[in-house]
Amino acid sequence: MAETLGSILLVPAHRPDLVMEGLSWGPQGVCLDLESFVHPAHRVRARELLPQQLSSISQVMPVLVRINASDAEADLRAAVLPGIAGILCSVESPGQVHRLDGILARLEAERGAPRGAVGIAACIQSPGALWFAREIASASRRVNALVLAIGDLAFDTLKTPEAMPYVTGPVPRFPVP
């Protein structure tokens, strides 16, 4: 992911019809989702469709794959293929980034890809992850983007009555030194 992308279309990986429809909207990149947009019952099928979709879409624009952090190994095994520009994954800590980096390095070596070819876009969607954003961003040279999931951050921060915003803002929901 060497280039800056102004718009990325996020589509469920098990729905090639939606991917093709979405391409007509003119995004600068595509992110094939294996996480929230795919019901767990369809995840195996979504992984099976990745090679064909990566092969065709990567000819015209960068392709990311959004993986499920709780099933990272299986998702990465399916996603680390020719044509992938990077992965998008929700992360909570620098340790999680180190783990992803290790899995990616192993898969790149197994598949003959250059080390570091697959970038990581770290999705920050909890107050704790936001607290560690600097450490997450510098945990690996692969991290080339931080994606702030504003809706998730707001929901997690404001979901209890005592955390309602006042003039000074919401009460932090993470350890503050």
pLDDT of residue 21: 86
Residues in contact with 119: Cβ distance below 8 Å, sequence separation at least 6, in sequence order: 1, 85, 86, 87, 142, 143, 144, 145
Model confidence pLDDT, tens digit, residues 102-115: 999 999 999 999 99
Query: Which of 76, 147, 146, 152 shows the shortest CA–CA distance to 111?
Result: 76
Q: Do 121 and 64 meet the contact criterion of CB atoms below 8 Å apart?
A: yes
pLDDT of residue 121: 95
Across-strand partners of 90? 123
CB-side exposure of 127: number of CA atoms within 13 Å? 14
One DSSP character per residue, the chain reads --S--S-EEEEETT-HHHHHHHHTT--SEEEEESSTTS-GGGHHHHHHHHHHHHHHHTTTS-EEEEPPGGGHHHHHHHH-STTEEEEEEE-SSHHHHHHHHHHHHHHHHHHTPPTT-SEEEEEE-SHHHHHTHHHHHTS-TTEEEEEE-HHHHHHHHHSSGGG--BTTBPPP-S---
Model confidence pLDDT, tens digit, residues 51-91: 999 998 988 899 999 999 999 999 999 999 999 999 999 99
pLDDT band at 41, cuts 50/70/90?
Answer: very high
Which of 168 and 144 is assigned the larger pLDDT?
144
pLDDT of residue 162: 54
- Residue range 127-143: mean pLDDT, rounded: 94
The model's pTM: 0.83
Model confidence pLDDT, tens digit, residues 147-156: 988 777 777 7
